[in-house]
Amino acid sequence: MPILVSQQKKEFRKFENNMKWFQDNYEKLRELHAGEYVAINNSEVVMHNKDVRTLITQLREQYKDIGAFVIEFVSKEKYELIL
């Protein structure tokens, strides 16, 4: 039995591509969406909102499956994470 079935492999690849697009375009996103969460799918911002829970609720209303979507915060300024 394969580790991931075809649909899961596709979703994984899409997620990776969406994440790469988010990182590659971060400075542009900062100009447009600083202080907001963005939802990225197929190399574009499909929705944005200051509240991530509202954003997720709205995405679920509009899309059947958001598994491959990247949902990330666009910071106004650079900051460090100390985990």
Partner 1 sequence: MRIYGGRGRGKLGFINVFLLCENPKISDPVRFYVDTGASRTTISDRDAARLGIDYAELEESSTPSFGIGSKRVKTYHLRSVLLVFRVVGGGFYIERVSVISVLKHEPQTEEEREIVDQIPSLLGADVLQKYNIRFTPKRVVLEK
Residues 6+ apart with CB under 8 A from 45: 29, 32, 33, 38, 39
Residue 1 within binding range of partner 1, rule CB under 8 A: no
Tally of CB atoms within 10 A around 38: 22
- Are the C-beta atoms of residues 43 and 18 closer than 8 Å to each other? yes
Q: What binding mask, one character per residue, do residues 32-51 give for partner 1 by CB under 8 A, x or -? A: -----x--------------
Residue number with CB closer to partner 1 (31 or 81): 81
Amino acid at 48: H
Q: How far apart (Å, rounded) are the C-alpha atoms in residues 35 and 76?
A: 6
Residues 50-79 that bind partner 1 (CB under 8 A): 52-53, 56, 60, 66-71, 73, 79
**Does the footprint of partner 1 cover residue 80 (CB under 8 A)?**
yes
Given the rule CB under 8 A, which residues bind partner 1? 3-4, 8, 11-12, 15-16, 19, 23, 37, 52-53, 56, 60, 66-71, 73, 79-83
